[in-house]
Structures are given as structure tokens and as C-alpha cells.
């Protein structure tokens, strides 16, 4: 165990945040980009407290060809390769030949077909912003465009957008549309767009006007900055997240037994754990436990079992970092049992994203449990869990999650490499695993001459695969961490096994990690890496 702990000394364990969603909507992946400078005037219809707008007027302004079929009361909308068919009074739409459920059906009023305004975002990828002071809506594909408003009558647009001149106030319904869209962007990891949208909403609403929406935005802004902290500027971004979470928690504290209060508390505890990853100050872990304790006021285990599992998982990780084995193991096993119960009920065909996320979480738990009980079963279970998650988190669809999973697989194989040097290592088990992964047929080959280089190749392959996504330019923190982990493995082989042929590889990987792990931003980790580099340089 001593060898294992040296290699994984600074392993950063993913702690889960929880998004607050209001009727989550997922917009199209491929947005429609047009260059337009138009102004149109629309009088919306408020139906069942929801704003509806004329379908043809809105879509034709964006270059869609709209055709009405009176026989079956359908509306066909075509633009380049995209085709959407709506049917009046029907909640099923056909989008690029795929039938899709929509929240509200099109309706006809005085011979004009109207659709709920949020369908512009959900089915056509068109962003909607509302200016409360001037009472106008900007419908645009570019959230960054500068919109100039002049005059009292006609509204002039400068940039990629259409101004909808509102004759009747939209009010809070438009804010809910904007909030739905912001939440959907955050759920899809479009973090910067989500932050812009949330802050745009805050320009039009105050805490006193609607504390529930305000707190919702504060929590999800905290989530957005937590996600940003995984990419770059960890300390500044996580401090922003803590500030937003605290504002949400203060609002939700009026009902400490609510689920939202517990979620904000869990997320705040998570943020302090992230801060510890940089500072290594125990006080941050104690703060995390304090907020996790707040979340426990509401007995999540009765009605919110997956949120309860998240809480127990995060508590287990925090106790692990505090070296409190028994408390950590108890919480981790509680979370693991809940996750496995879920996976026994649901499968990938029913809930693919949920199953993949839970497999990733169980892999992380098995990896930690190995530290308490160095069992080959935990190692194999971690590998199996990560590989199951990769069935959904592919490089094309979920590149960030794909890279993290390969990074985690590299961690597991690093554990195996360290464990190879201990007497308790189950060599027949590893022979079976290596054979199943086609790196070598080992039945007739002696293991001592084969296992170490094969495992090293596995480690290199996994970290290298993660670095295809975790580039220095796009994901500097992931880039630095994969390089650090790879260097730690080489360092272990050089120092403990006197295998000097890995010296240049270790130095290169350490220097790559130091591009991000600077003395100013990561003083503890920077000092450790520089110490390792000096050890490498002084080796004869």
C-alpha cells in the first residue's frame, strides 16, 4: 500500500454537483446561423399563461420555407438539410424524420398558426433574450452580438438578430423560457453560453421580485463556475462558485427541509472540496463536511434516493481525504449500494445518460475502496464500470467525459503497476485480465517478463488517449493532470525499480504539467513536482 499511495498522492477525485432544472429542455446541437438585420412586429397571444407567436412570421425571417397542408393540418418547415413537420393540436413533431414529443402543440387563431415561443429555442436552436426596460425581445443565434436599439417607434437591430417588437408585455413567461434555455445549455456543458444567459435574466429580475428564480440562477451559476474550474483558473472560478452557492443557500434557508436547500448545501460542500485540491488545507474539508451536514437535515433517503447517494459519495470522499477510513468506507458503500440497485433496475436502453454517469461514479468508488482493502475484485470492478460508461460517453458525443474516463482507467492501471511490486499481488488474475484485453496471450508465457511492460503500455495508452481531448489550449487542467499522472508512473519506475530509461519521459511529462501547476496557482503541487524533477535530474 505504501507504493500505491506514493503514485496516487495527488489524485483528484471527481465530486458530484447537482443541477437545478426547471422543466429541462435540450436544444438542437446544430444551431442555425444566419446574417440578418431585420425588425418584425409581432403581437403575441397569451394562452394558458404561455406566450405563443406566429410560426410562419418567425421562421421565414430566419430563412425557413414554411408550407401549410390543409388536408392534414400540418406545417412543414424546411431549411437546407433540416426538415421539421408540426401538426395542429398534436404534441408529436417530426424532426429530420424522427418523431419527437413537444411540450405544447401548435394552434390556429384567426387563420394563423401559433407555436409556443420556447419552441424557437428547443427545436430550432434560436436564442431568445428579453429586455424588460424597453419591453422587447431579441431573437438571435448569436448570444454575443451587440444589439443597438434606437428610436421610439421602429426598433433598429445591429448584429445577427431579429427584434420582436412586443405590443403586449411578455413578463415572467419569457423569463421562464430563457431560464429553460440556460439550464439546457448548462446540462450540455455549454458553460459560457449558460453564464451569459443567466446573467441576462438577472438584468430583468431582482431577488424581491422572484426569490425562487433568483436562487435557482445563483445555484446554477455556482455549478457553471464549478465546471469552469475543471478547465482553467481553478481557484478564481471555484471562489466565484462558492459566492453564488452561498447566495442560493441564504434564500433557501427559509425552508431548511426543502430539497433545494439540500442541493445547494451539497454543491457548496463540493466546492470546498475542490478548493482543498489546490490548497491542501484541512479547514476546507471541515467546511465541506459542515455543508454536507446541512444537507442531511432533509432526509433525502426517503424521497430523493439518488441525491442521497450523491451526498453519501461526497461525504465518503471528504472523509477519505481526512484519512478517516471507517467513516469514509461506510459512506462510500452506502452510495455504492444505491447506485448498484439503480443499475439492477434500469439499463442503457431506458436511461443511457443516467446509467453511464452512475457507472462512472461506481468506478470512482471502487477505486477508493481499493485503498482500504487492496482487492483485485475492486480493481476489476472499477475497470468494468469505466468501460460500461464509455458505451455512452463516446469521443464524438461527450469528449470531456470520454477523456476523464480514460484518465481514470490510467489511474487504475497505475494502481496495478504499483501492486505488481507487492507480495500480495494476484498474478493469475492479472494474467487472465491481460489475456482478455488481447495485449498478449499469457497462458504459455512466464508473467514476470511480461506483466510490467504490458501494464506500462496500458497506462501510457489511457493517459495518451485522454490527452487527445485534454489539450493545453482547451483543457489546461486536464492536460496538466494527465501529464502529472503519467510522470508519476515513470518516476516510480525510476526511483523504486532503477529503470532509468524512463528518465526523459518523466521529465517531459513533469514539465508539461508545470505549464499549468505554477507556483502562484498551485503552490503545494508545484513544490512537489519540482522536488520530483530535481530527483530525476540528480539521478546518474
What count of residues does the chain have? 540
Question: For every residue of 424-483, which 3-state class applies, written as one string?
Answer: CCCHHHHHHHHHHCCCCCCCCCCHHHCHHHHHHHHHHHHHHHHHHHCCCCCCHHHHHHHH
Q: Where are the alpha helices (DSSP H) in 11-154?
A: 55-60, 119-124
Let me know if residue 262 belongs to a domain: no
Residues 470, 400 contacting (CB under 8 angstroms): no
What pLDDT is attached to residue 453? 61
Chosen domain end from 166, 187, 208? 187
- Dihedral sign, Cα of residue 520, residue 522, residue 525, residue 529: negative
Beta-bridge partners for 175: none
Closest C-alpha among 143, 129, 116, 132 to residue 55: 116
Let me know if residue 533 belongs to a domain: no
Per-residue exposure over 408-445, b if at least 16 CB sit within 10 Å of its own CB, e if not:
bbbbbbbbbbbbbeeeebeeeebbebbeeeebbebeee
What averages of pLDDT result for each successive group of 10 residues across the chain (540 residues)? 30 55 31 39 67 80 84 89 89 84 84 79 56 52 40 33 38 64 81 87 82 91 92 92 95 86 92 91 95 85 87 94 93 95 89 91 93 86 94 89 93 79 43 36 37 74 92 93 88 75 89 92 89 81
Q: Report the number of distinct structural domains present in the chain.
A: 2
Let me know if residue 491 belongs to a domain: no
Let me know if residue 387 belongs to a domain: yes
Which helix H or strand E contains 212, and what residues bound it?
Answer: helix 211-229
Let me know if residue 5 belongs to a domain: no
Host domain of residue 443: 350-466
DSSP helix/strand/coil, 417: helix
Q: Provide the edge-to-edge strand list for the sheet that holds 92-95.
A: 65-69, 74-79, 82-87, 92-95, 98-101
What pLDDT is attached to residue 510? 93
Task: Measure the CA–CA gap between 484 and 495, rounded to whole angstroms.
Answer: 16
If you ran DSSP here, which 8-state letter would residue 73 be given?
T
Residues 408, 364 contacting (CB under 8 angstroms): yes
Q: Where are the alpha helices (DSSP H) in 230-304?
A: 234-252, 259-279, 282-295, 300-303
Residues 116, 25 contacting (CB under 8 angstroms): no
Task: Measure the CA–CA gap between 390 and 276, rounded to whole angstroms.
Answer: 29
Provide the CATH number for the domain around residue 169: 3.30.457.10
Neighbouring residues of 474: CB distance < 8 A, sequence distance ≥ 6: 231
- Within 10 angstroms of residue 486's Cβ, the number of other Cβ atoms is 27
Question: For every residue of 478-532, which 3-state class applies, written as one string?
Answer: HHHHHHHHHHHHHHHHHHHHCCHHHHHHHHHHHHHHHCCCCCCCCHHHHHHHHHH
Let me know if residue 54 belongs to a domain: yes
Chosen domain end from 130, 161, 187? 187
What pLDDT is attached to residue 149? 37
Let me know if residue 273 belongs to a domain: no
Let me know if residue 431 belongs to a domain: yes
Chosen domain end from 187, 208, 234? 187
- Within 10 angstroms of residue 83's Cβ, the number of other Cβ atoms is 15
Amino acid at each position: 500500500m505504501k507504493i500505491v499511495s506514493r503514485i496516487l498522492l495527488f489524485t483528484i477525485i471527481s465530486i458530484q454537483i447537482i443541477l437545478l432544472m426547471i422543466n429541462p429542455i435540450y436544444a438542437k446541437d446544430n444551431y442555425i446561423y444566419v446574417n440578418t438585420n431585420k425588425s418584425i412586429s409581432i403581437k403575441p397571444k397569451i394562452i394558458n399563461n404561455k406566450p405563443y407567436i406566429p410560426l410562419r412570421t418567425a421562421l421565414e425571417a430566419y430563412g425557413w420555407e414554411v408550407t401549410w397542408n390543409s388536408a392534414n393540418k400540418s406545417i412543414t418547415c424546411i431549411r437546407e438539410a433540416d426538415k421539421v413537420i408540426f401538426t395542429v393540436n398534436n404534441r408529436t413533431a417530426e424532426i429530420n424524420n424522427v418523431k419527437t414529443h413537444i411540450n405544447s402543440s401548435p394552434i390556429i387563431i384567426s387563420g394563423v398558426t401559433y407555436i409556443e415561443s420556447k419552441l424557437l429555442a428547443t427545436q430550432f436552436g434560436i436564442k431568445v433574450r428579453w429586455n424588460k426596460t424597453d419591453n422587447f425581445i431579441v431573437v438571435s443565434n448569436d448570444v454575443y452580438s451587440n444589439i443597438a436599439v434606437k428610436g421610439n417607434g421602429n426598433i433598429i437591430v445591429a448584429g445577427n438578430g431579429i427584434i420582436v417588437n412586443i405590443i403586449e408585455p411578455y413578463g415572467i413567461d419569457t423569463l421562464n423560457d430563457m431560464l429553460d434555455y440556460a439550464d439546457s445549455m448548462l446540462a450540455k456543458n455549454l458553460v459560457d453560453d449558460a453564464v451569459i444567459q443567466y446573467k441576462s435574466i438577472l438584468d430583468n429580475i431582482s431577488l424581491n421580485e422572484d426569490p425562487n428564480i433568483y436562487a435557482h440562477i445563483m445555484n446554477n451559476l455556482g455549478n457553471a463556475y464549478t465546471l469552469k474550474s475543471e478547465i482553467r483558473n481553478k481557484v478564481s472560478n471555484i471562489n466565484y462558485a462558492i459566492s453564488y452557492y452561498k447566495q442560493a443557500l441564504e434564500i433557501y434557508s427559509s425552508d431548511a427541509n426543502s430539497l433545494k436547500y439540500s442541493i445547494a448545501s451539497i454543491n457548496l460542500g463540493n466546492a470546498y472540496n475542490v478548493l482543498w485540491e489546490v490548497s491542501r488545507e484541512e479547514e476546507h474539508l471541515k467546511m465541506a463536511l459542515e455543508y454536507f451536514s446541512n444537507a442531511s437535515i432533509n432526509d433525502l433517503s426517503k424521497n430523493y434516493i439518488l441525491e442521497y447517494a450523491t451526498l453519501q459519495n461526497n461525504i465518503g470522499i471528504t472523509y477519505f481525504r481526512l484519512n478517516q477510513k471507517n467513516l469514509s468506507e461506510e459512506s462510500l458503500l452506502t452510495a455504492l449500494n444505491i447506485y448498484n440497485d439503480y443499475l439492477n433496475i434500469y439499463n442503457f436502453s431506458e436511461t443511457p445518460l443516467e446509467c453511464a454517469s452512475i457507472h462512472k461514479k461506481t468506478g470512482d468508488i471502487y477505486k477508493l475502496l481499493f485503498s482500504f482493502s487492496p482487492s483485485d475484485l475492486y480493481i476489476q470492478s472499477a475497470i468494468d464500470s469505466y468501460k460500461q460508461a464509455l458505451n455512452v460517453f463516446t469521443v464524438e458525443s461527450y469528449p470531456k467525459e470520454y477523456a476523464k474516463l480514460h484518465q481514470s482507467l490510467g489511474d487504475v492501471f497505475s494502481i496495478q503497476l504499483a501492486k505488481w511490486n507487492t507480495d500480495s499481488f494476484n498474478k493469475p488474475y492479472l494474467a487472465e485480465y491481460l489475456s482478455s484485453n488481447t495485449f498478449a496471450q499469457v497462458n504459455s508465457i512466464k508473467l514476470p517478463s511480461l506483466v510490467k511492460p504490458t501494464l506500462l503500455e496500458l497506462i501510457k495508452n489511457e493517459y495518451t488517449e485522454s490527452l487527445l481531448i485534454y489539450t493545453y489550449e482547451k483543457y489546461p487542467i486536464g492536460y496538466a493532470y494527465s501529464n502529472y499522472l503519467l510522470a508519476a508512473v515513470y518516476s516510480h519506475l525510476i526511483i523504486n525499480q532503477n529503470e532509468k530509461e524512463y528518465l526523459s519521459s518523466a521529465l517531459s511529462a513533469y514539465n508539461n504539467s508545470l505549464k499549468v501547476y505554477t507556483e502562484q496557482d498551485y503552490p503545494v503541487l508545484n513544490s512537489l513536482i519540482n522536488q520530483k524533477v530535481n530527483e530525476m535530474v540528480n539521478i546518474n
